[in-house]
Structure 1
């Protein structure tokens, strides 16, 4: 997925600022232009993950032309970040994993104690491990 970004030029005294207009509140900065763009991709990934966790939809990316015409970004440089499509995919997928029986028993006991299925418990553990 290609999302447009807007870049506010930095200087010797200030960092480069980057915003992702299609993802409200998503912004980053970096000492160099490369660092700022890389940080923007990381910020967008985190934004999408948090939005999906909150049950919010992921906005579709705007065209570069549409972003460039927005008056609030006059004088900013327009660019793009390329994000892995999996970041916005909340499709349920069946997986087969291999675990020792003692680990599986412990996993099931922990899930049962939380009133969850095995899959829901694994999902909760994974999403809370940040």
Structure 2
């Protein structure tokens, strides 16, 4: 698994901090303060990248800190008269899936398949996301 760092723009407002990714239009989030916004931004970035990869889309190359903002983002910041700062946020990028064989009880497989379908995942995608979520919770409580 490789790690990429994408530029995140943290936009201050009166009651929240928004996060936007200039290289990934549509990937936005928000938090109560800078730390919360960064945490929420990492989660949004991870889900956005995973969705792009699942859909077969190529990931854009990350831009550098201080690079000109795209018009859509610069206009939003100017319209709000907000101040902003930039940082880099990491995202794990799976390079190549590995085929594996696991054994699970039939009723659990059926439950996983139903949950995966409800949430728009394949069985493998759902199990991978469940494992990521579990590991993230473990990191947060460690």
Give the TM-score normalised by structure 2.
0.61
Q: Give the ranges of 4+ consecutive aligned residues of structure 1 lying more than 6 Å apart after TM superposition.
A: none
Q: Deviations over 1:31-70 (max 9, x none)?
A: 111001110110010001111111111111111121xx32
The structure having more radius of gyration, on CA atoms, is: 1
Q: Which runs of 5+ in 2 are unaligned?
A: 111-120, 130-142
How many residues in Structure 1 have an aligned counterpart in Structure 2?
A: 104
1:80 partnered with 2:78: no
Distance 1:42 1:24 in 2: 15
Higher percent of residues as strand:
2
How well do the aligned residues superpose, as a CA RMSD in angstroms?
A: 2.7
CA contact (8 A) 1:18 1:36 kept: yes
Higher RCO, 1 or 2 (CA under 8 Å, sep at least 6)?
2
Distance 2:29 2:56 in 1: 23
Aligned positions of 1:21-100 closer than 5 A:
21-66=22-67, 69-70=68-69, 72=74, 75-84=83-92, 88-95=93-100, 97=102, 99=103
